[in-house]
Amino acid sequence: MADPEASNQSGGYDVEQFVDTPDYDLICTICQGVLKCPVRAACHHIFCKKCILQWLKRQETCPCCRKSVNPSLIFVMFKLSKSIGRMKVKCKNEIRGCSETFSLSEQYCHSMTCMYELIPCPYQGCRVQLLRRDLDTHARHCEHWRQPCHMGCGTILSHRTQAKHNCYKQLRQEYEARHRNHRAIATALQRGR
């Protein structure tokens, strides 16, 4: 019986992600994806860890050769896992315009900086989802944009209040600058006498 939840959770990496078609022996026979955290059973068949553990909950035989499998005798293949991690993949945002490729192990780091990643607007209360590269443009109009006054007066400004903000810190700074200027003129005049 098909178990939609199990197929959603199943382990492997989507074959389509890879720049070069992955070798047949890197494909998990349970999920048909590229092995994620590969483990080897006593019969020497290899599966994603998640896939085989889920399989063994229902029957304790290898899905390839039907030999019985002892769940405590499956071993993670670290070397294989590492070499799969070095395989080149395309960005999952390729359809949105990202043309970058990188090794599988760098995928997470890339998604944190990918300009074509769909992210929620970071300003509280805003429900807009946008591409990371559009964030600056959006922030200029976002109703929920908030930023403390750059003068450090402690006021939190929105786009609406920013234009009207009469900052006491700024006024004081201007006043002090003018004052210094007047003093300088006065000193100069005194010296000139």
Q: Does 17 bind Zn ion (CB under 5 A)?
A: no
Q: Which stretch binds Zn ion (CB under 5 A): 1-9, 35-43, 74-82, 173-181?
A: 35-43
H or E element at residue 79 = helix 78-85
In whole angstroms, give the CA distance from residue 128 to residue 120: 6
Main-chain phi, psi angles of 114, to 5 degrees: -60, 125
Tokens linked to 56:
């063994």
Q: Does 74 bind Zn ion (CB under 5 A)?
A: no
Q: Does 131 bind Zn ion (CB under 5 A)?
A: no
H or E element at residue 56 = helix 49-58
Q: Does 52 bind Zn ion (CB under 5 A)?
A: no
Q: Does 89 bind Zn ion (CB under 5 A)?
A: no
Q: Does 91 bind Zn ion (CB under 5 A)?
A: yes
In whole angstroms, give the CA distance from residue 61 to residue 118: 42
Residues in contact with Zn ion by the rule CB under 5 A: 11-12, 28, 30-31, 43, 45, 48, 51, 62, 64-65, 91, 93, 98, 100, 114, 121, 123, 126, 128, 142, 149, 151, 153, 155, 167
